Amino acid sequence: MSGISTDGLIHIALELAGMRQLPADSAVYVSGEALARVLFGIDIGPAELLIARELGCDGVIAHHPAGGSATLRFPEVLARHVELMVEHGVPREVARDAIKPLVSRAILRAQAANYDHAPSFARLLRMPFLNIHLPLDEIGRRLMVEAIERHTASLGREPVVQDVIDALLTLPEFAQAPTQVMVPVGAVDRPAGKVAVVHGAGTNGGAAVAKAYFDHGVSTVVYIHIAPEEVERLRADGRGNLIVAGHIAADLVGINRYVAELEARGLEVVRASGL
C-alpha cells in the first residue's frame, strides 16, 4: 500500500467539496508523503501531535485552523457568508455590511494569535500536519441542505420549524449527538418558510447576518453554534426562527463523509477530539 501524501489528503477533500482551491482557513503545516495511519481530531495542538507519535501515526489532520496561514488568513473565508446570503436573496451590499463586525473581530483575533505554536512543534517532531476546515464544512452544509429538502418534500404540507429539526435528525450525526438541536429564537410550531443553512463560512454570522436573512425573505436560519449575547440581540429583535444544530455534531457531518472516503482508499484513521 502506497499511502496518501498531505497534498493528496487536501485534493480528496477539495474534490468531495466541489472546490478548486484550498480556502484560506486550511493549510499544510508540515508536508509528508505516503501516510498510512493518521490521527484526525477537530482541535489539534502540540500535546495531540505528541500523542499521535505515541500512537504510531505518521500524520495528523485537524479540522479547525491550527496556526500558520490558516489562522492568519482566517478572516478571508468569512466572505463566503456574502455568497450564501446572495444565494438566498439578500442584496450583495446588505450582505457585505452584515459581515463587517464579524470581519473586524476576526482580523483582531488573527493579529493576536500565536500563529506558530502548534506548527512549530509539528516541525520539531517532523510530523506531517495539516488542517482542513472550510471544505469539510461545505460537504456538511450540502448534506444538511439535502436532508432538509428530502424530509420536507415528503411531508405533503408546509413545513414548520420542528420539521426542519426532524430533517436534521435523519442524519446520524445529529440523531446520535449528546447535544440537542435547539431553537433559541422563534418556536418549533411556527411555519419554517424559506430555510437557509448557514454553515461552511468560517464561523456563524451572529445576529447581524441572521437579521439580514430575516429581512430578505428567509424565515428560518440554521447555524451550527452562536454566542449567547448574539441570541439576546435576535430575541430583542423578535423576528425569525434560529435553529442551532450543535457545533461538533454538525462538524462531524462533513468530517465523517471525508473519513469514509479516506478509509475507502486504504488510509487508517485514528479518531480523536470529537470524531
Q: Measure CA of the first residue to CA of the last residue in the chain; give whole Å.
A: 25
Q: Closest CB to Fe ion among 58 and 251? A: 251
Q: Report, in Å, the least distance between residue 158 CB and Fe ion.
A: 31
Q: Which stretch binds Fe ion (CB under 5 A): 46-54, 121-129, 155-163, 251-259?
A: 251-259
Q: Closest CB to Fe ion among 240 and 254? A: 254
Residue 58 within binding range of Fe ion, rule CB under 5 A: no
Q: Report, in Å, the least distance between residue 212 CB and Fe ion.
A: 22
> Using CB atoms within 10 A of its CB, is residue 129 exposed (0-12), middle (13-18) or buried (19+)?
buried
What is d(CA 31, CA 27) in angstroms, rounded to the nearest whole number? 10
Residue 163 within binding range of Fe ion, rule CB under 5 A: no
What is d(CA 114, CA 125) in angstroms, rounded to the nearest whole number? 19
Q: Which stretch binds Fe ion (CB under 5 A): 53-61, 214-222, 238-246, 248-256?
A: 248-256
Q: Closest CB to Fe ion among 162 and 179? A: 179
Q: Which stretch binds Fe ion (CB under 5 A): 3-11, 82-90, 167-175, 244-252?
A: 244-252
Q: Which stretch binds Fe ion (CB under 5 A): 65-73, 208-216, 249-257, 267-275?
A: 249-257
Q: Report, in Å, the least distance between residue 256 CB and Fe ion.
A: 12
Q: Return the residues of window 102-161 that contact Fe ion according to CB under 5 A.
A: 137
Q: Report, in Å, the least distance between residue 250 CB and Fe ion.
A: 7
Q: Closest CB to Fe ion among 19 and 188? A: 19
Q: Closest CB to Fe ion among 59 and 140? A: 140
Q: Which stretch binds Fe ion (CB under 5 A): 124-132, 164-172, 213-221, 247-255?
A: 247-255
Burial 205-231 (b: 16+ CB within 10 A, else e): bbbbbbbbbbebebbbbbbbbbeeebb
Q: Which pairs with CB-CB distance under 8 Å and at least 24 residues apart come from 179-184?
A: 179/246, 179/247, 179/248, 179/249, 180/246, 181/243, 181/244, 181/245, 181/246, 182/243, 182/244, 182/246, 183/241, 183/242, 183/243, 183/244, 184/226, 184/231, 184/234, 184/235, 184/242, 184/244
Q: How many CB atoms lie within 10 A of CB 54?
A: 9
Residue 251 within binding range of Fe ion, rule CB under 5 A: yes
Q: What pairs with residue 39 in β-bridges? A: 60, 270
Residues engaged in binding Fe ion (CB under 5 A): 137, 251
